[in-house]
Structure 1
Amino acid sequence: MDRSWRLLWQTLLALLGLSAAALACAQPFAVSRLGPGVDPPLAQVLSGRLDARFAPQQGERIVYSGRKPQWLRLVATAEIGEDELPQLVIDQPYRKFFDIWRHRDADPVRRALHGRGSEFQHSSRFVVYPLEGGLRKGEVIYLRTWATEFTPSTLRVEPLALVHRQDMSHVALRSVVLTALGATAILAFGFWVGLRERGYAYLSLTLLVQTVNLAVEGGEIRMLPWFQDVLPNRRTNVVLNTAAVIASVRFLVFYLDLRATQPAVTRVLNVCSWVLGALLLVSLVHTWSFSASFGNLMLLTVILTVAYASAVAIAQRQREAYFLLAAWAPLLAVLVVLVGGFQRWWPMFAWLEYAYPIGLVFGGLGLLLGLAAKLQKLRHDHDTAKHRATYDRLTSVMNRQAIEQALRDAIHAAHRTRRPLTVVFFDIDHFKRINDQHGHSAGDEALRSVAERTRQRLRSTDLCGRYGGDEILVGLPGTRLEQGLVVAEHLRRAVGANPPSLNGQPLNLSLSMGVAELRAGESYEQLLERADAALYASKAGGRDRVTVQQAAGEEVPI
């Protein structure tokens, strides 16, 4: 078994060595550069008098150590024919400028994503310089470059067809990323407008700033001419990234409810927000060489604090923390690697070019779903609390406060629309005797049974509530007195014919009921007073009956 593993490792190492050798052979240039900060006159460089001062370097990466221009001398190591239309390709061109000279060029050719030298024949992934007529072995190309962005770039030669394929893939991916981020930001904004939940506003602002920042960083926004002076400015990067971090912090404080659950963490994040806010305001006027580094260190502080807060929230079984972990853990890891690359703690890896925007998309969508789940839970809790405040727990019909308000609203609507409305007011005969003889559990069962039978015989638009004790109040919108009488009589007979059982024995019940129809200009109190008078007339008349209140002081037993 050990021998097999040894053989496998030897094979992999051999393949790796072959790949490295192949790559070394495939390198089109021998690259050398002048010392950092050396920017001699153009004529001296092109004359070849300074060639001896160019120091060879390993690989074909352009490493930026500052904003001063640097010179590179590229010597072709192999013959490259013109059949495949070779192109000199330089990746990671964001906020960088390249002046290129060949022996046949009278003037330098400027290449950049923005400003003079920008061209729209290719995507913003790289700048392209056509090697017309191919490249002879030993041919020299001089390249002068300067930048406000210190991510290394790589030189390579590729056929035009391959460049176009890479262009299309890059544009397709960036279009999906920017569209998804922008759509998610707009969706979150729409939710904020409709629901007035500030969490959606924070999320929308976070995603919107990140979308603009990606479009600026990636060069897509260069299509707008009035942004040409903004794009190469380092201040733009600092301002947009700082604003994005501040919005993210405020969203996370809201999303994890940190003010209530982790006040100490909230204080740390508040301090970070104030410091970043000060950096944002100062950066609008001026930026220093350390502005971006300071912002990156604050971002790392925020990331570590959020990671700690998420771990505590998960330990507390906070549902939102699971969404945050699933949505933002990969993005936070990418951000740590990205910040480390900017700070030159480790190399700036090529995969970060796509890992960061893709992480933003999945993070935004994941948090949108998580926020929706959080608000759904809040809505459920609100509905539960509202139900408890509206409905009687014993009978499951409305409580007194709710039925009074609902009936007042129904009376107001009936007066406005000139539609009829009838109320039925009743209670259980000898209810106190039932409690005394059979216990309060029997009385509770009697109330539940009567309330259930009442609900079963009402329409969805009808109103039913426990007014107090054993009294039930029913409102019948759109119903005249004669129809209300029929409803009351059916209910009285249903309760008498199907009594509830208690310990296997029937609990005989009867109802005394009063019915009254709303009159023109009549108030809730006046209508209820007439229905109550009809109810007591039923009791005085022998109980187990329905009495209709027609004229003032006139009750008609049925």
Structure 2
Amino acid sequence: MRGLVAWLARLVMAGCLAGAAAALAADTRAPELRAVVLDVDASASQIPGTGRFDPALAGATQLQRVLPYRDEGSWVQVTLSRLPPKPVLVVTSMVAGPVTLVLPDGQRRVRNKLQPDDDADASPVALVYPLPADLSPGTRLLLHFAHQHRAIVDVALHDAPAWQRKERGIVLLATALYTALASLVLVTGCFWLVVRERIYAQYAIFALAWLALMTSNSGVLYRLPGASVLAALGIHGQWVIFSLVIALALGFARDFLNLQRQAPRLVPWCNGLRNVFLAAAAVLLLSPWPIPRYAILLASAVFWVFPALIAVGVYVAVTQRDRYAYFFLAGWVPMTVGSFLRVLQAAGAIDLDMTYLYAFGVLLQSAVLVLGLADRLVRVRYERDEAREIAEHDELTGLLNRRALEGRLHGLIDASREGDGGLAMLFLDVDHFKEVNDAFGHHSGDHCLKTVACIISAELRSGDHLARWGGDEFVALLPGAGIEDSRRISERVRTAIAGCNASPLPGVPVTISIGIAVFDPSRDTEASLMARADAALYRAKSAGRNRIEVMQEVVAA
């Protein structure tokens, strides 16, 4: 458990160091530009006239604009105040369609994060447009964004070497975050393979959906083999993933918080809401028409579904004192805060880049919840071992019970047949035990049995097995023992019990009779070995008790 915690801490630390590297790599001296969203709803083939600039936008080094709902797409006019030696225009956006740059001479350059280019200027984290070096200050460029939904875009002008340095930092950060999250998905999947409990598979799929959502937003996902199927859905593909994230969040929270037991009235609410988002994902997946305002539903869902789940976690933590509710809250709160900021940024309410801050929130949530799942795994294993301990041991004496001893006998006989040493069986029976029970009651009889069990255990070897067979009868298995070893150990047991004070009857000491049988691989079975040991015990009882007998001949089982 400590190793897992340290490993997760190293993953998060790697992400933080990568974030610091990206921040240091950022170019704070980017050339200035101005941009305005033109008040036209036109396709990329319909080049509009120039628009007026807001003076408040003058001197910005990087601009963030919110594109309104459109049928044909939005045009953004960019004016370059001053140019670096090797200018590149860098665009990041939530637009899933093609983004077209129109140069002053009419040339067009088209990029699409859903269909990544393979040229030297292409980037996995942004749309990059190299600009002609002979552009003069004051040049106006046009960008067309093909979208039918509200979207946020960032436009920046960089010198090519400066952008390459910044890009390396961003790629390093993204790689660290995505790799850490993918590792947590793998860890949780391994948990599921070990214990086969649904909760582990649920979280692995939930975290994988988060990873798919983040990589689809940045465009990295579409560089993977087979991503063209998702790319064909356009923005609907990202919305399908987001809908699945919310649906999976509801299902996971329900089971992780054990609402079926802790708050059963909330289970139908969770199930119903989860089914709504699953149905919405199916509609988006199959719809041939755009559903531009579905983004509003997703944004609003973040603002009330995630806080509602936090409230449920608080309720379970306060009313039930459930330890997993605290794990849930420790992970869910930072993820919710990061998601809030990301949605506000997407709506244009805040002018900050929350892409990777929100990813850090998701990573922190994953790390905490995986720790919670690991704790659950340890607890399940502990409870399983405890249940096995109870199932295999006698409640009164703490020795193995009959069923457990039979299991060990089977394994020892197989080992003995394969030449791995001998095996002896002792049947032990307390003499005159009925008199103790009849005269002093079962409480005194129980005390006598526990004392005898302790003495026998103390005299046996460390690798021997002792069980209470039933009533006042015990059975011991002595791996590797022959007749002489068995006699010596049995005599030690008999002498120790005869000299103890286990009986409450004055002047009537407790004694024990012992029957011995040594396993013969050429003729014995489990049943015949038991029969011989039992016959030897019967002979010891018949010969006057407090003695040891060995049965060597075969006895019918």
Q: The TM-score by the shorter chain falls in which range?
A: 0.7 to 0.9
Task: Choose 1 or 2 for highest CA Rg.
Answer: 1
Please report how far the alpha carbon of residue 118 of structure 1 lies from its aligned counterpart in structure 2 after TM superposition: 7.1
Distance 1:461 1:297, change over 3 A: farther
Query: Which has the larger displacement, 373-382 or 156-165?
Result: 156-165
SS at match of 1:393: coil
Read off the aligned partner of 2:276 and give its amino acid letter.
Answer: V
Distance 1:42 1:237, change over 3 A: closer
Superposed, which structure 2 residues align to 1:72-151 within 5 Å? 72-77=76-81, 79-80=82-83, 82=85, 85-92=86-93, 94-95=95-96, 97-103=98-104, 105-115=105-115, 119=119, 121=121, 123-133=123-133, 136-147=136-147, 150-151=150-151
SS at match of 1:473: strand
Query: 1:101-135 CA deviation, whole Å, 9 max, x = no partner?
Result: 443x4512334434387755353333333344365
Instruction: State whether residues 43 and 146 of structure 2, in contact with CA within 8 Å, keep that contact through their aligned partners in structure 1.
Output: no
Aligned to 2:283: 282
Matched, 1:330 2:334: yes
Distance 1:175 1:76, change over 3 A: closer
Please report how far the alpha carbon of residue 465 of structure 1 lies from its aligned counterpart in structure 2 after TM superposition: 0.6
Matched, 1:474 2:476: yes
Superposed, which structure 2 residues align to 1:277-426 within 5 Å? 277-286=278-287, 287-315=290-318, 316-340=320-344, 342=346, 344=347, 347-408=349-410, 410-411=412-413, 414=416, 420-426=422-428
Instruction: State whether residues 80 and 134 of structure 1, in contact with CA within 8 Å, keep that contact through their aligned partners in structure 2.
Output: no
Aligned to 2:494: 492
Distance 1:366 1:149, change over 3 A: farther
Read off the aligned partner of 1:353 and give its amino acid letter.
Answer: T
Instruction: State whether residues 323 and 370 of structure 1, in contact with CA within 8 Å, keep that contact through their aligned partners in structure 2.
Output: yes
Rounded Cα–Cα distance in structure 2 between residues aligned with 1:229 and 1:444: 72
Please report how far the alpha carbon of residue 270 of structure 1 lies from its aligned counterpart in structure 2 after TM superposition: 0.6
Aligned to 1:187: 187
Distance 1:490 1:475, change over 3 A: same
Distance 1:507 1:188, change over 3 A: farther
Rounded Cα–Cα distance in structure 2 between residues aligned with 1:116 and 1:535: 84
Please report how far the alpha carbon of residue 188 of structure 1 lies from its aligned counterpart in structure 2 after TM superposition: 1.9
Read off the aligned partner of 1:123 and give its amino acid letter.
Answer: S
Read off the aligned partner of 1:200 and give its amino acid letter.
Answer: Y
Rounded Cα–Cα distance in structure 1 between residues aligned with 2:226 and 2:515: 78
Read off the aligned partner of 1:326 and give its amino acid letter.
Answer: A
Instruction: State whether residues 528 and 554 of structure 2, in contact with CA within 8 Å, keep that contact through their aligned partners in structure 1.
Output: no
Rounded Cα–Cα distance in structure 1 between residues aligned with 2:65 and 2:325: 42
Please report how far the alpha carbon of residue 525 of structure 1 lies from its aligned counterpart in structure 2 after TM superposition: 4.5
Instruction: State whether residues 84 and 158 of structure 2, in contact with CA within 8 Å, keep that contact through their aligned partners in structure 1.
Output: no
Rounded Cα–Cα distance in structure 2 between residues aligned with 1:37 and 1:292: 19
Superposed, which structure 2 residues align to 1:182-261 within 5 Å? 182-224=182-224, 227-228=227-228, 230-231=230-231, 233-261=234-262
Distance 1:323 1:162, change over 3 A: same
Query: Which has the larger displacement, 348-357 or 107-116?
Result: 107-116
Query: Which has the larger displacement, 231-240 or 218-227?
Result: 218-227
Aligned to 2:431: 429
Rounded Cα–Cα distance in structure 2 between residues aligned with 1:457 and 1:58: 93
Instruction: State whether residues 98 and 111 of structure 1, in contact with CA within 8 Å, keep that contact through their aligned partners in structure 2.
Output: yes
Matched, 1:269 2:262: no
Instruction: State whether residues 337 and 361 of structure 2, in contact with CA within 8 Å, keep that contact through their aligned partners in structure 1.
Output: no
Please report how far the alpha carbon of residue 413 of structure 1 lies from its aligned counterpart in structure 2 after TM superposition: 5.9
Aligned to 1:12: none
Query: Which has the larger displacement, 250-259 or 366-375?
Result: 250-259
Read off the aligned partner of 2:68 and give its amino acid letter.
Answer: S
Please report how far the alpha carbon of residue 373 of structure 1 lies from its aligned counterpart in structure 2 after TM superposition: 0.7
Distance 1:508 1:543, change over 3 A: same
SS at match of 2:68: coil
Query: Which has the larger displacement, 253-262 or 458-467?
Result: 458-467
Please report how far the alpha carbon of residue 58 of structure 1 lies from its aligned counterpart in structure 2 after TM superposition: 4.2
Please report how far the alpha carbon of residue 202 of structure 1 lies from its aligned counterpart in structure 2 after TM superposition: 0.9
Read off the aligned partner of 2:256 and give its amino acid letter.
Answer: Y
Query: Which has the larger displacement, 384-393 or 424-433?
Result: 424-433
Read off the aligned partner of 1:494 and give its amino acid letter.
Answer: A
Instruction: State whether residues 66 and 151 of structure 2, in contact with CA within 8 Å, keep that contact through their aligned partners in structure 1.
Output: yes
Rounded Cα–Cα distance in structure 2 between residues aligned with 1:506 and 1:317: 57
Aligned to 1:10: none
Rounded Cα–Cα distance in structure 1 between residues aligned with 2:428 and 2:44: 104
Rounded Cα–Cα distance in structure 1 between residues aligned with 2:200 and 2:459: 44
Aligned to 1:18: none
Aligned to 2:33: 29
| Residue ranges of structure 2 left out of the alignment (5+ in a row) | 1-28, 58-62
Instruction: State whether residues 514 and 531 of structure 1, in contact with CA within 8 Å, keep that contact through their aligned partners in structure 2.
Output: yes
SS at match of 1:156: strand
Paired residue total: 516
Matched, 1:537 2:543: no
Superposed, which structure 2 residues align to 1:158-197 within 5 Å? 158-197=158-197
Rounded Cα–Cα distance in structure 2 between residues aligned with 1:249 and 1:507: 70
**TM-score, length of structure 2 as denominator length:** 0.81
Rounded Cα–Cα distance in structure 2 between residues aligned with 1:360 and 1:29: 34
**TM-score, length of structure 1 as denominator length:** 0.81
Query: Which has the larger displacement, 370-379 or 225-234?
Result: 225-234
Distance 1:194 1:284, change over 3 A: same
Rounded Cα–Cα distance in structure 2 between residues aligned with 1:212 and 1:443: 67
| Residue ranges of structure 1 left out of the alignment (5+ in a row) | 1-24
Please report how far the alpha carbon of residue 192 of structure 1 lies from its aligned counterpart in structure 2 after TM superposition: 1.7
Instruction: State whether residues 96 and 148 of structure 1, in contact with CA within 8 Å, keep that contact through their aligned partners in structure 2.
Output: no
Identical amino acids, percent of aligned pairs? 25
Distance 1:118 1:58, change over 3 A: farther
Instruction: State whether residues 93 and 125 of structure 1, in contact with CA within 8 Å, keep that contact through their aligned partners in structure 2.
Output: no
Please report how far the alpha carbon of residue 518 of structure 1 lies from its aligned counterpart in structure 2 after TM superposition: 3.6
Query: Which has the larger displacement, 289-298 or 256-265?
Result: 289-298
Read off the aligned partner of 1:91 and give its amino acid letter.
Answer: T
SS at match of 2:231: coil
Query: 1:320-358 CA deviation, whole Å, 9 max, x = no partner?
Result: 11111112211022223434555x4x6155342112222
Rounded Cα–Cα distance in structure 2 between residues aligned with 1:386 and 1:367: 28
Distance 1:87 1:509, change over 3 A: same
Rounded Cα–Cα distance in structure 1 between residues aligned with 2:268 and 2:84: 64
Distance 1:187 1:478, change over 3 A: same
Distance 1:477 1:349, change over 3 A: farther
Distance 1:300 1:415, change over 3 A: farther
Choose from 70, 77, 82 the match for 2:74. Answer: 70
Query: Which has the larger displacement, 545-554 or 478-487?
Result: 545-554
Distance 1:437 1:148, change over 3 A: same
Rounded Cα–Cα distance in structure 2 between residues aligned with 1:548 and 1:229: 78
Please report how far the alpha carbon of residue 515 of structure 1 lies from its aligned counterpart in structure 2 after TM superposition: 0.9
Query: Which has the larger displacement, 330-339 or 200-209?
Result: 330-339
Please report how far the alpha carbon of residue 371 of structure 1 lies from its aligned counterpart in structure 2 after TM superposition: 0.9
RMSD, matched Cα: 3.5
Distance 1:166 1:499, change over 3 A: farther
SS at match of 1:153: strand
Read off the aligned partner of 1:470 and give its amino acid letter.
Answer: D
